[in-house]
Structure 1
Amino acid sequence: MSRPSTVDYTLYLVTDRSLSRGRSTLEVVRSAVSGGVTCVQLREKEASTRTFIEEARAIKVLLDDKGIPLIINDRVDVALAVGAAGVHLGQSDMHIRDARRLLPPEALIGISAESLEDALAAERGGADYIGVSPVFATPTKTDTALPLGLDGVRKIRSAVGIPVVGIGGIGLANAAEVMMAGADGIAVVSAIVAADDPQKAAKALKKKIG
């Protein structure tokens, strides 16, 4: 089976239980998806492996019913355990060649690119999409490189042929600008996860980016 070429990255949710204001990740995802989220990345930095897998399975059932892909952050083992659509890997995570060797051929692999060089290397390595990170300064991750800005998005978009998703400091005020700079989608964390109403937040973002 070949990897899917029609994944909709337009509104890409990245979860973060520390920002969910006491709501479960499943609850936030359900609400966000009902508001128009098109792709979900489950990110769990503190949970045990068993908890991560249990949560991923529950979320996958919800997403499968709606035809939305579940991407697992960092953890190839968790993606394999639950049959997720794929993984998203940072520059210090497992190398894409090793992940590709372990995952089934149809699995998606996204790579975070902190520079044009990262993006070009990811495409050469067989990445399915690139997360341009960070576009703007963001409080949700403290280990990121300096913001690439809209110019960075434009440069990467013009240099690679695979989908490009902007992440980092993106919200209602600047989402449209990121898309106009050439991104195929925006990835958001706090703009949805920490919102009073994740469904309304997702709807507003979806409307903003058309």
Structure 2
Amino acid sequence: MNLRAGMESFFNTGIYGITAENISNGRDNIEIVRDMLEGGIKFIQYREKEKDALSRYEECLILRDMIKQAGGVFIIDDFVDLALAVDADGVHIGQSDLPPRVVRKLIGREKLLGLSTHNTEELEQANELKKYIDYIGVGPIHATATKINAEPVGFEYLDYAVKNAQLPLVAIGGIKEQNIDDVLHAGAKTVAIVSDIVQSENIVSKVERLRDKIFNK
């Protein structure tokens, strides 16, 4: 995987898609991701913590091939071993996971590494670790059902991150079609959207409308 090509997908498609099968109205991740790709999302994260390891592995083998054939980028949330086992394009970690320098050593230089940040202190730490990290997550901007215990950070931190981040960033947390304009106005160029996409009756149309807002703001 070429890091530069991966980050081009990060910027060029505007939306960072994330799986959430438990809130996908009975549809499985294969169907959800297929529709994401058809709608134009090329940067997709697999986030499934409740499934057993074998189920995740078998599902990710299918998703990896689907996303690769579509010219997309496949990121695994948290599970470094799973990312290596299925040869994903990268891994995304949180503040309580293995340190970025350790994860980088494990995954090598060819894979992408993302890190979630929630406040200015974590952002500055990410800036200091930028030789290990390729992009950061900023949020949650709003309250979100996919991260029940996460306190929303609002726009104050997003404004700070837009001005001070030394890495590409993706805004995340409760972002939907009806409030995405505020996030874009704050300066975010890439947004992670979960429930508004996976719960949509027509994911392809939903993604197309969201992307129209992003690129025609």
* TM-score for both structures, normalised by structure 1: 0.94
Match of 2:3 in 1: 3
State how far apart, in whole Å, the 1-side matches of 2:47 and 2:127 are: 23
- Opposite residue 169 of structure 1, the aligned amino acid is G
Equivalent residue number for residue 115 of structure 2:
111
Look up the match of 2:212.
207
3-state SS, counterpart of residue 8 of structure 2: coil
- Residue of structure 2 equivalent to 1:135: 141
Alignment-mate amino acid for residue 53 of structure 1: Y
2:68 is aligned with 1:61: no
TM superposition shift of 1:162: 1.1
Identify unmatched segments of 5+ residues in structure 2.
Answer: none
Q: How big is the shift at 1:77?
A: 0.3
Distance 1:157 1:117 in 2: 14
Q: CA deviation at 1:204?
A: 1.3
1:189 and 2:194 matched: yes
Taking the aligned partners of 2:50 and 2:146, their CA distance within structure 1 comes to 14
Q: Give the superposition deviation at 1:135.
A: 0.7
Specify the SS of the correspondent of 2:177: coil
Look up the match of 2:93. Answer: 89
Deviation string for 1:100-130 (max 9, x for gaps)?
1100211111111010111221232231111
1:16 matched to 2:20:
yes
- TM-superposed CA distance for 1:2, in Å, is 6.5
Q: Find the partner of 1:155 among 153, 160, 163.
A: 160
Identity %: 36
**Aligned residue number for residue 78 of structure 1:** 82
1:2, 1:105 within 8 Å by CA — same for their partners in 2? no
Measure the CA separation in 2 of the matches of 1:78 and 1:161. Answer: 28
Question: How big is the shift at 1:23?
Answer: 0.9
Tell me if the contact between 2:91 and 2:112 (Cα under 8 Å) persists in the aligned partners: yes
When residues 2 and 206 of structure 1 are mapped into structure 2, their CA distance, relative to the original with a 3 A threshold, is: closer
User: Cα distance 1:2–1:201, how it changes in 2: closer, same or farther (>3 A)?
Assistant: closer
